[in-house]
Amino acid sequence: MNPDDLLLGFSLAIQPVNLLFAFLGVLLGTIIGALPGIGPSAGVAVLLPVTFGMSPVTAMIMLAGIYYGAMYGGTITSVLINTPGESSSVMTTLDGYQMALKGRAGAALGMAALGSFIAGTLSVVLLMLAAPPLAEWAVTFGPPEYFALMVLGLTTLASLTSGSMLKGLVMALAGLLLGTIGIDVMIGEPRYTFDQVELYDRLDFLPVAVGLFAIGEILFNIYQPVYTDPIKAKLSGLLPTRQDWKDSWGAIARGTVIGFFVGTLPGAGATIASFLAYATERRVSKRADKFGTGVIEGVAAPESANNAASTGALVPLMALGIPGSGTTAVMLGALTLYGLQPGPLLMSTHPEVFWGLVASMYVGNVMLLILNLPLAPAFASVLRIPYSVLIPIILGIALFGVYSVENSVFNVGVAILFGGIGFVMRMYAYPAAPLVLALVLGPMLEKALRQSMQMSLGSVDIFFTRPVSAAILIFALVSLFYPLLLALWARRRDRALAGAS
């Protein structure tokens, strides 16, 4: 890296017009992220025409701002109303919503903003220093490696939620089954679609998640109120404490690293990143049994990871012209519209675009922190409203969000159906997170498995002869059996001690 490049970048980023559009981008991003439904990729696409008259640098600054801004905003509904707006915020609901029930929504949101800021800024450093070599590394990930990564994800799935592991497993399997609905990617044959054209493209994540989480929770609250009183805490009590910070900094650091590297992989993305970060935190934590009851590191880890992943996804986009996520695919299209040719040469032929963007992301993350920290208690105060008043508002926002993604009434029906299912699941303490995550991971796992099998013409050797996939699979096995081995070892030691005495 040449320091002059960064200087060029900052000279562009601090121009008033670029500052203004960076601010507009992150502000719109926060709003888009906060609304369930309109995700960053739709947000970027809808606002694309607005950028037509701008210079490419300004336009990219604004679009990227929407993208990473949405990762900040996505936390809000997950924590406050148990509704993940995107699949990358499912993990946040687990502890975030529990914190809200305990009156600590402000702390959760504040820590999410802090974690996102740290993760966002550190990932920009990585993007700036090492984009080209990282992109080369990312494309070496082929189907066998993605398969191994998905297996690693799935092995931790059942143990993710507190409570019965058996129930978690059942839900994960149900999710995998639901994930087989739709047109088979390899041979183009419809499965379990019953001639409904809306089902050809799989069951969407959002209506299922909104149904199971938001609507199921509302129905359960009507049946058996969880929120007895509106929260009465003072505003000052709504910020993270020194202890919260102590509990979270490790999670933020690990979440950043996991999120960034997983984010650079074109076939993985923010969902897997947030998921692995949460699972990792649970593994290394001294209070693993408290996860799912409202521990702050359970919010900090996935929120840092999804933010780092959104920056990571810019690595293959800027260095090779290969989009690593739905949103970066839209940004790739945008670059073409501005008359730029995204590809390996972009960084040398148009250094101002890359460096202007990098510099603006440092600025944008600061803006987001300033925007989101004071907003945390403000949003948290929403819960001061009596629950009976909140219910119709939450329902309205949730169903509108579901409709708006694909302008689809069918999906509204799906959300209501899964709302009923979610209510029954909630009554009998079946966790929803393993189901929706398996719904997202299942098709990715299936695709990677079948691509690998096609590559090797049916031989499973391909998973073990490729070093990276072999290493990840072995790690998955160890992490699956490690708790078991530990328990065995402890029992043997106890017996030995008992024998000695």
Partner 1 sequence: MRSVAFRSASIAVAIVMAPAAAMAAGWKPDKPVEFLVQSAAGGGSDIFARTMAKVLADEKIVTVPINVVNKPGGSGAVAYSYLNQKKGDPYIIATATGSYITTPIQKHSPVSYKNFTNLAVLCVEDYVGVVRADSPYKSLKDLIEAAKKKPNSVRVGGSSVGSSDSIIEHQLEKATGAQLNYIVFQSGGEVNAALLGGSVDFASPNPSEATQLVKAGRLRPLAMFSSERLDQWKDVPTAKEQGINVTLDQFRGVVAAGGITKEQQAFWEDAMRKLYQSPGFKKYLDDNGLRPLLHVGADAEKYLTDQIAFYTGVMTELGIVKTKK
Residue 53 in contact with partner 1, rule: CB under 8 A: no
Residue 243 in contact with partner 1, rule: CB under 8 A: no
From candidates 131, 305, 346, 369, binder to partner 1 by CB under 8 A:
346
d(CA 73, CA 55): 27
From candidates 339, 484, 498, 501, binder to partner 1 by CB under 8 A:
339
**Whose CA is closest to 226, among 362, 354, 5, 390?**
390
Interacting span for partner 1 (CB under 8 A) from 11-19, 274-282, 402-410, 428-436: 402-410
In the numeric block, which tokens belong to residue 38? Answer: 């309109």
Hey, which residues between 408 and 427 contact partner 1 (CB under 8 A)?
408
Single-letter amino acid, residue 347:
M
Residue 351 in contact with partner 1, rule: CB under 8 A: no
Phi-psi label, residue 299: left if phi above 0, alpha if psi -120 to 50, beta otherwise: alpha
Helix and strand counts by DSSP (H, E) for the chain: 22, 2
Residue 148 in contact with partner 1, rule: CB under 8 A: no
Residue 229 in contact with partner 1, rule: CB under 8 A: no
In the numeric block, which tokens belong to residue 331? Answer: 């940004």
Residue 465 in contact with partner 1, rule: CB under 8 A: no
Residue 314 in contact with partner 1, rule: CB under 8 A: no
Residue 191 in contact with partner 1, rule: CB under 8 A: no
* Relative orientation angle of helices 242-264 and 297-312, to the nearest 10 degrees: 30
**Least gap, CB of 6 to partner 1 (angstroms):** 23
In the numeric block, which tokens belong to residue 27? Answer: 């502000």
Beta bridge partners of residue 191, listed in sequence order: 182
DSSP 290: G
Single-letter amino acid, residue 112:
A
d(CA 286, CA 297): 12
From candidates 103, 230, 250, 343, binder to partner 1 by CB under 8 A:
343
Q: Which is nearer to partner 1, 42 or 79 (CB)?
A: 42
Q: Which is nearer to partner 1, 387 or 410 (CB)?
A: 410
Residue 397 in contact with partner 1, rule: CB under 8 A: no
Residue 237 in contact with partner 1, rule: CB under 8 A: no
d(CA 25, CA 47): 10
Residue 467 in contact with partner 1, rule: CB under 8 A: no
Beta bridge partners of residue 190, listed in sequence order: 183
∠ CA 199-413-160, rounded to 5°: 75
**Least gap, CB of 458 to partner 1 (angstroms):** 10
d(CA 403, CA 275): 26
Interacting span for partner 1 (CB under 8 A) from 99-107, 155-163, 254-262, 321-329: 321-329
From candidates 166, 197, 484, 497, binder to partner 1 by CB under 8 A:
197
Interacting span for partner 1 (CB under 8 A) from 183-191, 291-299, 362-370, 379-387: 183-191
Hey, which residues between 262 and 281 contact partner 1 (CB under 8 A)?
266-267
In the numeric block, which tokens belong to residue 248? Answer: 């979270």
Q: Which is nearer to partner 1, 187 or 389 (CB)?
A: 187
Residue 454 in contact with partner 1, rule: CB under 8 A: yes
Please give the torsion angle defined by the CA atoms of residues 397, 402, 408 and 409, in that order, rounded to the nearest 10 degrees: -60
Spell out a b/e string for 388-424, using b for 16 or more CB atoms within 10 Å of the CB, else e: eebeeebbebbbebbbbbbeeebbbebbbebbebbbe
From candidates 80, 355, 447, 472, binder to partner 1 by CB under 8 A:
447
Interacting span for partner 1 (CB under 8 A) from 39-47, 102-110, 369-377, 480-488: 39-47
Binding site for partner 1 (CB under 8 A): 41-42, 44-46, 48-49, 52, 138-143, 183, 185-188, 190, 197-198, 200-201, 266-267, 316, 320-324, 326, 329-334, 336-337, 339, 341-346, 406-408, 447, 451, 454-455, 457
